[in-house]
Chains A and B, each alone.
Chain A
């Protein structure tokens, strides 16, 4: 019996003209591990919703074709009916947590389904993800990687045949991603389906790659093909190369680069000077951070989850104040946060640009929209734009305020290769205009593409002392 069988499935969301899935046929055998990828909006998540019966039962819409999961036609089933067959893990584990601690979280599924041997199920699920030692821990005391492992355990405790994961690594640093893949390697008795843009370590664990584009499956082949640059280029896929091993670099201590960043020959003062700052937030302490940034320089800032990168960004833009030390910004600084939806307030793109400003000219707004290729979207509602367009709108918002420094926090989360290249192009243009940038990211493929130099934080401190920050060469020494 097949674990999953889709036969000629087409689906249209309510009030949409375009088909989200178009004549999709896919067969996944029991015990197989399949990686599903493709450009943004290609229909990957819709496919996951079809397999879990979220569509059409919860979201409505028009659906044709047949979806069978473990031999059952999902046409008249709800996600709850399939809960014992399909474990569904999302991008953000916290949106899946309903209780206070690991034990009750993992036992919730078996309790709800009134399964037998609940105690053993919880024990076994936690053992399989290596979290048995945190069984009675509060879920909110866990690291991001641990939360994702608990999310998987909470599905495994229901003993599903299929484990379906939709971008589970997008918020994880590389160490946590490595841990997650180690867990997946030990789940070969399950049918594994991973949906993601990132292809890191995929060939090690998954047998088959399915590439989607415009709602259709355009390629089904062995995952080893992901190692072929031509194959990746053809479908706009990310590289599976290991990249930067933050954990081992932090552990053994990064050596200062011989190519230490120096100020430009103009001998201007730095745009940003961070001098020995300290800040405490709960149990976390950021301590002794020094940093200089020069006009037109692009600095990559990386490090494990919770290492203090976002806290440093919030200190620099003045959202929080340091307890000790000093931060000097020559001019103005803007922060583009991870989720553009938090930063869009108005009902048109044009009004968004001027929101909060009293003094501006319409001509300047239109010039900027023209430069940023947003003039055709100026009357659109910002929330109706695509992810890339939202981000471009936000960059324009800060550009209109003529900033000297822009910080972007995880700008490539959930971004495919095409959009990443587009973003890199815009960053190049801003650099040409003399804007200094700090790019906070786990995405070394992106940082290697755009950053002049990359530094790393760990436990609230820069791994490299004072101004001796690593150039690209030093980062490369941390490659596996």
Chain B
């Protein structure tokens, strides 16, 4: 898997409807989707939600970049189900696992649709406009900015790991510590090192969310359309879930 292709948000969607939507509107939808996915207990409805957010990513022109990551979740989902089926065949366990992966898929897809279409600077402006404390704004915007750099780092470490260990799906299943030792720890070390550079870059550009211009991003017609669309969708899902229950 080419991890560079997993998180390439800033390469795919320089313009479009979703890019122009106020980041706060998108954030509201992402948080609502996350909460709703925990509330809904019907697998079909969760799958519908997953499809909606996948369609949103496709609309933003980023599906090619998001597909490997989303496919990875689906693959793990299917493999886990297959293992449980072989080991116990317990329908309750399989149902629980399916709900877990469906929710994870929704959160990932919603988060990716946000990351793929949001500039860090616009996020900072919109958060400032609702008087979110500067420290939180700074942390969130630098984190968003850092996602592509993290992807490049993860990809290089992954390649190096493959060269050293003949890494394959079966070797990870046999020795899961390879993933932790070989990917997670070096990634954390690199994250700590690079985060300094990103923060310095931000400061030396005069990028200070605590003192910058007040949020100039306003809610416009497209935000109302966007929020209305998702309100209808989410309300329908809640009603249908109630009907199912």
Contact = CB atoms under 8 A, between A and B. Distances in A.
Nearest to B125: A111
A378 B207 CA distance: 43
Interface in A79-136: 79-80, 82-84, 86-88, 90, 92, 94-96, 98-101, 104, 108-109, 111-114
B61 interface: no
A158 interface: yes
Contacts, number: 126
Secondary structure class of chain B's binding surface, majority of residues: helix
Contact of B204 (A88, A94, A345): A88
A317 B163 CA distance: 8
Contacts of B193: 341
A111 B149 CA distance: 24
Contacts of B161: 345
Contacts of A341: 186, 189-190, 193
A52 interface: yes
B14 interface: yes
Contacts of A138: 10-11, 14
Interface stretch (B39-47, B76-84, B85-93, B151-159): B151-159
Nearest to B154: A342
Contacts of B121: 98-99, 104, 108, 111
Interface footprint category on B: 35 or more
Contacts of B145: 98
A104 B122 CA distance: 11
Contacts of A335: 163
A108 B207 contact: yes
A25 to B, nearest CB: 24
B205 A95 contact: no
Contact of B182 (A96, A319, A345): A345
A94 B165 contact: no
B206 A109 contact: yes
Contacts of A355: 164-165, 181-182
B163 A84 contact: no
B236 interface: no
A104 B204 contact: no
B160 A112 contact: no
Looking at B148, B153, B164, the one whose CB has the most chain A CB atoms below 10 A away is B164
B198 interface: yes
A78 interface: yes
Nearest to A49: B200
Contacts of B148: 94
A174 interface: no
Nearest to A356: B165
B208 interface: yes
B182 A98 contact: no
Nearest to A111: B213
Contacts of A87: 204
B194 interface: yes
B119 A99 contact: yes
Contacts of A114: 213
Interface string A345-380: 110000000011000000000000000000000000
20 contacts: A58-B203, A82-B204, A83-B206, A94-B148, A98-B120, A98-B201, A98-B202, A98-B207, A100-B10, A100-B119, A104-B119, A111-B121, A114-B213, A138-B11, A140-B11, A319-B159, A319-B162, A335-B163, A337-B159, A342-B190
Interface of A: 52, 54, 58-59, 78-80, 82-84, 86-88, 90, 92, 94-96, 98-101, 104, 108-109, 111-114, 138-140, 154-155, 158, 314, 317, 319, 334-335, 337, 339, 341-346, 355-356, 383, 397
